[in-house]
Structure 1
C-alpha cells in the first residue's frame, strides 16, 4: 500500500521545509473549506500534504477550526497517515516547556464542536478505546526522541484553564492539556486514517507554583522555538515510515448501524472518500 503523510500543523508550524513539487491548492469539501489552502508535494520520495490547523496567520479559534473539512480534504487527496502537531500545556513536573510528548489517550472536554461525519440517515459508531495508531505513534516517538504515551485533556477554550480546573485535570492523572486534539482524532478514526499526535509543550498551564499563569506571549514564544524542531521531525518521517499491522484502515467495518435500505443517499455521497472502502460493492 502506498502511504501518504498528512501533517496538521498547530501553533508555530505553518510550513514544511524541503518539500519538492510544492504547491498550495484551494479545496472545497461538503463541510466547507479547510482551514487554509493545502500544501502538497514530495518529501524524501514520499507524497505529503500539509494543512495549517488555524490557517496561516492563526485566524481560526480552537472551536471554529473546520475539523471535518480538514480531515475530509486530506482523505480525498489520498493521505493514509496523519501526524498532528499540537501546542499544549503540561500538567506534570515531568514535562517542561520545550519538551515533546507523543500522546496515546484523550479526555474530551469539548462541547461546542461537530464531532462526527455521521448523522440522521447514516449512523456510525467507530471503536475509539485506542484513539491513535500504534504504528504511526511509534514512528513519531522515534523521530522526536520523546516519550510514547500520555493523556491529552482537550478543553473547549479559547480561554485558558482556571486554577481549579488545572488542579482537577492533574488529579485525573492527565499529562497535557490543549484545545485542538478533539474532535480531530475522532474524525480521523471515522475516515479510517492512521493518526498520531506530537504534543509540543509550551507552558505549565496555571497549576505550577513557581511559574506565572499561562499567557499568549509565553505560548507563542515557546511554540516558535519548538517549530524548528518540529520541522526536523517532519523531515525525518518519510525515512522512518514502515508497514505494520494496525486496525485504523478498517475502523468502519461493522460500524455503520443504519440498514442499507434506510441509508440517506445524499449523506453517502457527501461522505465520498470517507466511505469509499467500507461501502465498496
Structure 2
C-alpha cells in the first residue's frame, strides 16, 4: 500500500494546477465535532433510557410521535446552541469560488446551511434536522424550519427552582410530558397529518433527488480531480462507494481526520494525502490558495 503525503505544500501545488477543478468534499460527524456538537450515534448511544437509533424509525414515530419529536426537538436545540466552524465557512466559500465543487454531507445538524453554503452544491445524504415534511408521502409537503421550539408543546421544561434554567431532558430523571399528536407540528397543506423530521430514518432510502445529483456528478465525463474526506471514516456505503467512484474517475484522495490510522475505502494510492487534526483548522488552510482567509461572523 502506498504511503500518503502529509505536507500542505504539495496539496496546494496540486490544487492550484487544476484549471477547471472538479472536487468533492465528503463530510461526516468529525466536521461538526469541531463546533462542539455531541453525537447520538455509535455503539451504546442512548438518549434517556432509549437507544438513540431506536427512535430513528418510522415505527417509533407511529408508536409515539410525541417521544420521537421530543428527541429530535432536543437535537435541533443542541445544534442551534453551537455555531458553524471555520471549516463550514471555508467549504461554503470554496463552493462560491469553484463551480465544479460539490459537498456530499452525512451531517443532519444544519451547520452547512447556517454557514450559507450554496444549496446547489450541497447534497445532504441523510437529510437534515431543519427540514420538516408531511408524514404522508402522498401529500409531499416539506419546508425548511429553524424555529426553536418548532411548536410550543416542544419547548424545554422550565426548572421550578430557577426559571432562567432549562433542565437537561436527555437526563432520564427529568420527567417528559406526554404530548398528543395534535400538539405536534401539523401539515399546513393536507391538514390531516403531523409533520415529521426531514432526516433519513433506519429502513428508509436516501433522498432520491440527492442520490441522482450525486450520481450525475460522479458520472460526468469530465471526471473528478480530488475528493476530500472530512471527519468520516467513509467505510459505510454509500459513502465508501463515493470514494471509490471518485478514484475510478481520476480523483486523488485527501483525508482530514483526528485518526491518522483511518484508511479510505480501497486503501491509499500514490498521490493521496492524510492530514491529522481538527477539521476546523486544517480545511481552511488547505483551501486558502483559492478562498483566501476565512471570515467567521462574530
TM-score of the two chains, using structure 2 as the length reference: 0.26
Q: Which has the higher strand share?
A: 1
